[in-house]
Chains A and B, each alone.
Chain A
């Protein structure tokens, strides 16, 4: 009797275990389902319309077939480079400050500010940059777009830098200090150097985040049909081209929109793969 009850109890436990496993698998499936739907849809529709012309030609005038998005590729690269030149140094130094400086009221406020900044919708940042740069400069420009994207990437870099530097063992820092090295040199050449893998992967993630931003660019870069290298002028950018082609009434433009989406997806995927590699290769491993 008792043995039978034990056996029943055991079977019930086993059933519970199976059930829990099924639920977890199902929820995992639900989580990745949208990813596969979106990526699959873009790959299916985008790859079909993908061609070499897309990469080496500028957009065709309305009514003409063909054309590419070379101006958007170059424009996106220029805008991202502008953003990176501003966002990376400020973000990394801010992260070093938060991780290394003594606790103070200023540091406390700074940390809260960074967290708030991270939560601000990108379109709001676009409007602010529009008011602060586009209006005074009397015109949309790639520069303004770069500033907007720099503001968006800033909190991502600050937070990831701070977190990777906090993982650097305290003993290494003490080793530097005990050698008679000034604190700021230890922060830069020991702590930042040791945590560099994490810092770089944070930078790459922030780049992939801003690569697809559209809303702030609408207010700042505006977009352009033409090829331009002038950073004080409106410029084309891939996300803007996706936006414009997709809301157009022409089926051919829709397909170009998908093809450009596919291109952007590849771009972001490449950055993410690079990030993984950096994390694996450079991250500090404890013995």
Chain B
């Protein structure tokens, strides 16, 4: 962790966050800082609140019925509760566990969905440029350049997931939240997405929830370990995986439970 003088580089700061579904407490006093242009992995056993935590970042959590939370999350030093959720979600994009391209739009329009759904019309030349640049960034251009106007449902699962990443980065967010993006993918597609994350790191801050500890170890700079809604340990990935301070972290990453 960095000293106080470097506070500016924390793009998201979580302060004493509690979250509940009904009376069920899913996050208990979470404090953590997400550093800009780094990859932060959130690991932990199923049901530990990983997904809930990142869904708090873009205020998707509050859409769920019966949800409530306390504490605060600062995005660029401003409390997100005071932020317009619509604008916030344009700054903090999200990619989901199951690839979910819009089945009613072809690939080209899927990339531009963030513009079209908001009623923003682009000049054809701008639209073409955005689609090409974005798909190149998402490492998908070479595979789909000849089928831009086909249904995304013909693509493989990994390609669909990269299309979803493209759709997310097309609207130029600052942060990308990835909720177990490789859970449904084979190792090769997973490898491609991991490579992609490492290149995207230059331009975006990435927070990834993953079940796969090797994945966290391979790609992330920082790792947070959650268990039963508690943040057990948070620090440099290297340190967490080589010399964890907490016994439970050690037990989890060595596969003794979870």
A residues neighboring B (CB under 8 Å): 102-103, 169, 171-172, 174-182, 185-186, 189-190, 193-194, 196, 284-285, 287
Bound Cα distance from A67 to B88, whole angstroms? 69
Add 12 more A-B contacts to A172-B102, A179-B171, A185-B117 (CB < 8 A): A103-B65, A171-B96, A175-B101, A178-B96, A179-B118, A185-B119, A189-B117, A190-B102, A194-B102, A194-B103, A285-B103, A285-B153
- Given A185-B117, A186-B117, A189-B117, A180 and B100 touching (CB < 8 A)? no
* Residues from chain B with Cβ under 8 Å of A285 in the complex: 103, 153
Question: Do B89 and A177 have beta carbons less than 8 Å apart?
Answer: yes
- Given A171-B96, A185-B118, A177 and B102 touching (CB < 8 A)? no
Question: Do B117 and A178 have beta carbons less than 8 Å apart?
Answer: no
Bound Cα distance from A181 to B100, whole angstroms? 16
CB proximity of A283 to chain B, nearest CB, Å: 11
Mark each residue of chain B from 68 to 92: 1 if its CB lies under 8 Å from any CB of chain A, else 0.
Answer: 0000000000000000001111100
- Of B93, B96, B103, B117, the most chain A CB neighbours within 10 A belong to B117
Question: Do B117 and A284 have beta carbons less than 8 Å apart?
Answer: no
* Residues from chain A with Cβ under 8 Å of B100 in the complex: 169, 171-172, 174-175
Question: Do A178 and B89 have beta carbons less than 8 Å apart?
Answer: yes
25 inter-chain pairs at a CB distance below 8 angstroms, sorted by A residue, are: A103-B65, A169-B100, A171-B100, A174-B96, A178-B60, A178-B93, A178-B96, A179-B89, A179-B113, A179-B114, A179-B117, A179-B167, A179-B168, A180-B86, A180-B88, A180-B89, A180-B171, A181-B118, A182-B118, A194-B103, A196-B104, A284-B103, A284-B104, A285-B103, A287-B153
* Residues from chain B with Cβ under 8 Å of A176 in the complex: 102, 113, 117
Question: Do A177 and B96 have beta carbons less than 8 Å apart?
Answer: no
Q: Is B220 an interface residue (CB 8 A)?
A: no
Q: Is B188 an interface residue (CB 8 A)?
A: no
Q: Is B98 an interface residue (CB 8 A)?
A: yes
Q: Is B207 an interface residue (CB 8 A)?
A: no
CB proximity of A205 to chain B, nearest CB, Å: 22
CB proximity of B74 to chain A, nearest CB, Å: 19
Measured as residues with beta carbon below 8 angstroms from the partner, the interface class of chain B is 20 to 34
Question: Do B63 and A175 have beta carbons less than 8 Å apart?
Answer: no
Mark each residue of chain B from 27 to 67: 1 if its CB lies under 8 Å from any CB of chain A, else 0.
Answer: 00000000000000000000000000000001010010100
CB proximity of A176 to chain B, nearest CB, Å: 6
Question: Do A180 and B114 have beta carbons less than 8 Å apart?
Answer: yes
* Residues from chain B with Cβ under 8 Å of A186 in the complex: 117
Question: Do B104 and A194 have beta carbons less than 8 Å apart?
Answer: yes
Bound Cα distance from A284 to B102, whole angstroms? 11
Q: Is B164 an interface residue (CB 8 A)?
A: yes
* Residues from chain B with Cβ under 8 Å of A169 in the complex: 100
Bound Cα distance from A172 to B100, whole angstroms? 6
